[in-house]
Amino acid sequence: MRRFRSLPLVLAAALAAAPLVAPVPAFAGHGEEKKEAPKTYFALDPINAVVMRRDGRRGVMTLETGLEVKDPELMKRAEASTPRLRAAFAQVLMIYAAGLRGGAAPDMDYVGRELQKAADQVLGKPGSKVLLGSALIS
């Protein structure tokens, strides 16, 4: 007869996988509604551009960006214009990467200024702030 020696391990795994239920305070839901802060930031998908490496082969530059918008109306417009923003950002990055010397470090201050100009043009007015996440050349 075989003995099931891993029973304590199975029970521990089952207990760890079970959702925990938090106690509900007695005053929850009585008269107070939580006000959520308006959304002021959203991230765009990473943008890629082709660059030349030091050895003459092609590489890829990947840039993560996001927008911070304090005005709720402009935020709605920015979220609705996400495809246009990505297209404008991709165009700026591709033009910049095409002129980048092989092996040279990119000037992210310049790229950020150009992306800000593109965002202001797409949204129709200033009021947004382009935030750069990370830049990677591989």
- The position carrying tokens 């530059």 is 61
Phi, psi of 131 (to 5 degrees): -115, 130
Boundaries of every domain in the chain: 41-137
Instruction: Decide: 61 and 53 in contact? Cβ < 8 Å.
Output: no
For 25, the token pair is: 């305070």
CATH of domain 41-137: 3.30.479
Model pTM greater than 0.75? no
Tens digit of pLDDT per residue, the chain (138 long)?
Answer: 455 566 565 555 555 655 555 555 555 555 566 678 889 999 999 999 999 988 989 999 999 999 999 999 999 999 999 999 999 999 999 999 999 988 889 999 999 999 999 999 999 999 999 999 999 998
Amino acid 23: pLDDT: 56
Altogether, the residues listed in the chain come to a count of 138
Instruction: Decide: 27 and 13 in contact? Cβ < 8 Å.
Output: no
Rounded CA separation 83/80 (Å): 8
Measured CA to CA in angstroms, residue 16 lies from 11, 20, 27, 41 at distances of 9, 9, 29, 35
Q: What is the Cβ-side half-sphere exposure of residue 49, based on CA atoms within 13 angstroms? A: 23
